[in-house]
Structure 1
Amino acid sequence: MTHLVAVGACYLDTVLTVESYPAEDEKLRASSLVRRRGGNCPNTVEVLQQLLDLSKPPGAITLALFTILPSRSSAGSQQIKSSLEPAINLTHCLHREEVGEPASSYIIKSRSTGSRTIVNFNDLPEMTASEFSTMADELGDKASLYHFEATGQGRIPETTLECMRHLRRRFPSVRISVEVEKPGRAGLQELAAEADVVFYSKTWAQSNGYLAPEECLRAQASLTPKAYDLAPSPVNWRRAQGLWLTLLTGEHRVVDTIGAGDTFIAGMLYGLTCHGSDWALSRKLDFATELAGRKVRQEGFSGLGALVRHSVQH
C-alpha cells in the first residue's frame, strides 16, 4: 500500500459573505455565515480522497496528513478529526497540549466581486525538522510522495528545506512536491530547487517579475534541476481568464473560490500518482483545471469527485 503524505497547516474557517467589502469603521450585515475545516493541505487531501475512492483498484493509495493540532481534548481537534477521519490518516499529527485553540481563518467573501479577504490566527508552535524526521522515519518506505505547503505549518522555509533533505538522504526514491505560493517570502526558490514537482502561484510568479506562465517555467527549469513537472496553477493564471469569463457570462457563476487552488493541486496529484504514465501532462492539467472549475461553482468540496467520475475512471 502506497502513502501520500501532505504536510501543512490545518485551520478552522469562519466564512462571512457580504454584498461588498466594508469601508473602515463601517458596520455591515453579513448574508451568511459558514464554519468549516480549512487549510491548503487538508483541502487538497479531502478532494484527492474523493478521486481515489472512484479509482481502481480502490485503496491502492492511502492519504495521510501531518499537521500541528491543539490539545487532544480540545473542541477544535475533535472537529478537525471528525471532518477527515477515517478516510485520511491523522495518527501522525502532533498535538500541542498546552494550546487549546486551533489555527483559525476569518474570511470575508464579497458577492459583488467574487473575491475574498483572509485573516489568519495561529498560536500553535511550528513544526520542527526533528519532529518531521521522526514521523518520516516511522512511515519509512511506506510513503511514496510527500506534498509540502510552504506557507503553512513548516512554513519556515529553512525548516521545510531540512525536511526535504532528510527525505532525500533517508528515502531517495520518495517523490517530493511543493506549493510555492506567498510572494516575498525568502527561501521558496530553494524549496522549488529541491522538489520533483512544483506548483507556482500567480502572485509569487508575478512578484518575481514573470509576466506569463511560459516565461516563469522557462526560467524556473534552469533553477530546479530535480523537478520533472513544473505547474503554474491554471486556476490562478492564463487558463483562469477563460474560466472566469465562462463562469461569469455563461450559465454558471462563481460561488466559492476558497480552496480552488487546493483543488487544482489535488487534481494534479491524482494525475501524477494514478495516471503517471497513461496521461500526458496536458491531460493532467486539463483534468485539474476542470476539477477546480467545478469547485468554484459550489460551496465547499463535497461531491467534487462524483462530478468528474467519467474522467477519473477513463
Structure 2
Amino acid sequence: MSESKEMISSFYEKIVGTSPPPEPNEPKILCVGLICLDIVQVCKQFPAEDSDQRCVAHRWQRGGNASNNCTVLSEAGNSCEFLGTLSAEQHLNFLQDDMRKCKINFAHCPTVEGFGCPTSTVILSLNSGSRTILHYNPNLPELSLENFEKLNLEEYSWIHFEGRNVGTVLSMIKHVETYNNSLKLASKDIKNRLDPALPMPITISIELEKSDEQLLDLLPYVDVTFVGRTFAQFRGFDNMTETLRRISQEAKSGATIICAWGDRGAMARTPDGRIVQSPAFPPHKIIDSLGAGDTFTAAILFYLNRVKLQPPLSNRNDSDLARNTKGAEAQSDPNTELQLNEVKRKITQNYNIESLEVSLTEFIDCTVLQNAVTFACKVAGAKIGLTGYEGLGNVFKDLLKD
C-alpha cells in the first residue's frame, strides 16, 4: 500500500501524514461532504427478487463521495483533508482507522453522539459490471457553518464541496469567497499568486450529482463544477453537449464546467467557452465500478491543482511538466501547455448572479483542461479494473512518467 502511494513527480514526492499540519508550500485539497460505511457484496450476477444466492466476496470499505475523493487524492500522493460529520456510534473506529491508513487528514471533523453511521449496501455484479447501491442515512446531522469557520483557510489551495445541504454549503462558499477577497491580490497576477510567501486564493469546486434542483443555487459561486449524469438527466439533458451549454448559462463568469457520462467519456467547457472531450478508457475486464465517478472527479482535482501550483515559467524548465496525455486531442504544443502568463481571456463580470467575483481559474486553458479530462478518464478506467482503490497509486505514477 505504502509503495503504491509513492509518486514519481516533479511536483512533490513526499507523502503527508494525517494529523500534522502540512509543510510550508504544500497547501491541501479539502473535500467537504459525506462519509459512510459501504458494505460490499460481490455476486456472479445480480440476484433475482426473493432469491437466495451466495456471494463471491464480501468487504467493508469507507465510502461517501467526498471521502472517496480523498482516498484517490491520497493514492496520488496529494496532501488532502476530509471534512464531514462523524457518528460516534460503533463504526467510528473503522472509519477513522481507514482514513489514518490512507493518510487522510480528518482533524477538523466533528463527532456527534446519538446518531448512527450512514450505511450503503452495495451489490456488485461480475456478470454485468453493474453496482447497485442501497443507502441509509439515519438523519446524521450535516456539517455546520460553525464547524467550517474553524478552519485556517491558508492551509488550502482548493476546496471541493459535495453538493448537499445547499443552504449551509452556500454559506461556506461565501466564507471562502470573503477570504479570497481579503487577500487583495490582482486576479491576473499569477506570479504573485504562486509566491510561496503569500497566501493563495482558494479554488472552489462543487459536485452536482443528486436529483435536487436547489443545487443550481450554488453555481454562481464556484470556479469549477462537476455535473453528474444523474443530475443532468434529472434536469432533462440528454447528452454532455446540452448539459455544458445549459449549466454554463447559470454559472459564474469564467467558470469551468465538467461532465462525465460513463462509457461515453467526458466533456468540459473552458473558462473562455471552448469545449474539450475525451473518450472513456475501459479496462480489459470490469471488476469494480463502485466509485468510478469519484475517482474521475479526484483525478481532475489532482491534475488541475497540480497545474495551479506549478511555479512560473521562469522558475522551471520543461522537464517539470508531466507527459501524461498521449493521444489527447488538444491542438496546442505540449511545451506551452502551462504558459499561464500568455493566456488571454475575455471573461467579464456576470451581473446576473449574486457572486461578486469572476472565476479565479486563469491557470485553466484549453490544453490544460483537455489533458486533465483525458488523464481523469484514464485513471477512472483503470480504477474499474481494480478492486477498491488500492493500486491507483501505481496508475497515477505510470501516467505521470515522462
Fold shared per TM-score above 0.5: yes
**Structure-1 residue corresponding to 2:381:** 293
SS in 1 for 2:138: coil
- Equivalent residue in structure 2 for 1:270, among 302, 306, 313: 302
- Report if the CA contact (8 A) 1:157-1:186 is conserved: no
Q: Once the 2 structures are TM-superposed, how far is the Cα of residue 230 of structure 1 from its aligned partner?
A: 0.8
Unaligned 5+ segments in structure 1 are 54-60
1:22 aligns with 2:110: no
After superposing the two structures, state which structure 1 stretch, 160-169 or 16-25, moved more: 16-25
Identity between Structure 1 and Structure 2 (%): 27
**Structure-1 residue corresponding to 2:111:** 95
- Report if the CA contact (8 A) 1:13-1:104 is conserved: yes
**Given residue 49 of structure 1, which amino acid in structure 2 is its aligned partner?**
S
Q: Relative to total residues, which structure has the larger strand share, 1 or 2?
A: 1
- Report if the CA contact (8 A) 2:44-2:125 is conserved: yes
1:37 aligns with 2:62: yes
Cα distance, 1:280–1:134 mapped onto 2, change above 3 Å? closer
**Given residue 180 of structure 1, which amino acid in structure 2 is its aligned partner?**
L
- Equivalent residue in structure 2 for 1:169, among 155, 170, 178: 178
- Report if the CA contact (8 A) 1:10-1:37 is conserved: yes
**Given residue 146 of structure 1, which amino acid in structure 2 is its aligned partner?**
I
Q: String of CA shifts for 1:64-96, please: whole Å, max 9, x gaps.
A: 11011122xx54221111112262111100101
1:189 aligns with 2:198: no
- Report if the CA contact (8 A) 1:129-1:162 is conserved: no
Q: TM-score by structure 2 length?
A: 0.67
Q: Once the 2 structures are TM-superposed, how far is the Cα of residue 28 of structure 1 from its aligned partner?
A: 2.4
Q: Distance in 2 between matches of 1:200 and 1:15?
A: 26
**Structure-2 residue corresponding to 1:121:** 136
Q: Distance in 2 between matches of 1:115 and 1:311?
A: 26
Q: Distance in 2 between matches of 1:40 and 1:262?
A: 6
Q: Once the 2 structures are TM-superposed, how far is the Cα of residue 236 of structure 1 from its aligned partner?
A: 5.9
CA RMSD of aligned residues (A): 2.3
Q: String of CA shifts for 1:19-46, please: whole Å, max 9, x gaps.
A: 3333332222222211111111111111
Report 1:149-228 matches (<5 A).
149-150=162-163, 155-172=164-181, 173-183=201-211, 185-226=212-253, 228=255
Q: Once the 2 structures are TM-superposed, how far is the Cα of residue 207 of structure 1 from its aligned partner?
A: 2.1
1:9 aligns with 2:41: no
Cα distance, 1:222–1:242 mapped onto 2, change above 3 Å? closer
Aligned pairs, number: 291
Q: Distance in 1 between matches of 2:263 and 2:234?
A: 14
**Given residue 20 of structure 1, which amino acid in structure 2 is its aligned partner?**
Q
Larger Rg: 2
Q: TM-score by structure 1 length?
A: 0.85
Q: Relative to total residues, which structure has the larger helix share, 1 or 2?
A: 1
Q: Distance in 1 between matches of 2:264 and 2:399?
A: 23
Q: Distance in 2 between matches of 1:233 and 1:242?
A: 10
**Given residue 125 of structure 2, which amino acid in structure 1 is its aligned partner?**
S
**Structure-2 residue corresponding to 1:130:** 145
1:83 aligns with 2:98: yes
